[in-house]
Amino acid sequence: MAATPVTHTLIHARYTAPFGELVLISDGTSLVRLLLPIDTRVGLGEPGTDAVLEQAASQLDEYFAGTRREFTVPVSLQGTEFQLRVWAALRDIGYGRTASYADIAKAIGQPTAVRAIGGANHRNPVPIIVPCHRVIGADGSLVGYGGGLDVKIFLLDLEQS
């Protein structure tokens, strides 16, 4: 007899960040998405709250207050093997630091995959928590961010203060 997969109902809560409203989405055991203000993806689930959403909101409060440098809220990252490796490398970029797309490509052992790194960054389901805003161009330029360059600049400035 095959095991029946466990399915969790998605629930979401809105969170007011200094730069706009975020949507936090939980499956009941982990954070599965963090939508930035300009994100138009659907699949929010039902409005509500749970321990995961409360923990995520609390940790975001601390982050925006400048007292949290690392997130410990459980996350569930669903992606390709390549994307998962990229997202793991992003979590290794320290608070207040940046890395180039080439640095990430080298870190995962695929030095020629710079463009693919950008694609994986764009598909990061939990930005801020998995800090894709810390990735910059090889020349130090602030290239691309799913939440808009103004949000990227805000987050990088926050981490420098």
pLDDT exceeds 70 at position 42: no
6/91: higher pLDDT? 91
Region at 140 (left for phi over 0; alpha for psi -120 to 50; beta for the rest): left
C-alpha span between 90 and 93 (Å, rounded): 5
Known catalytic membership, residue 38 = no
pLDDT at position 27 is 95
pLDDT confidence of 46, banded at 50, 70, 90?
A: confident
Using one digit for the tens of pLDDT, what is the confidence trace for 77-93? 999 999 999 999 999 99
Helix, coil or strand: residue 94: coil
Tokens linked to 42: 């659907």
pLDDT exceeds 80 at position 41: no
SS3 content of the chain, % helix, strand, coil (to 5): 35, 15, 50
Cβ contact 35:23 at 8 Å: yes
pLDDT confidence of 5, banded at 50, 70, 90?
A: low
Using one digit for the tens of pLDDT, what is the confidence trace for 48-105? 999 999 999 999 999 999 999 999 999 999 999 999 999 999 999 999 999 999 999 9
pLDDT exceeds 90 at position 32: yes
For CA atoms 68, 74, 80, 81, the dihedral sign is positive
Q: What is the CATH number of domain 81-160?
A: 1.10.10.10
pLDDT exceeds 80 at position 155: yes
Spot the catalytic one: 36, 89, 132, 156.
Answer: 132
Question: Which pTM value belongs to this model?
Answer: 0.89
pLDDT confidence of 143, banded at 50, 70, 90?
A: confident
The full set of domain ranges for the chain reads: 81-160
pLDDT exceeds 90 at position 8: no
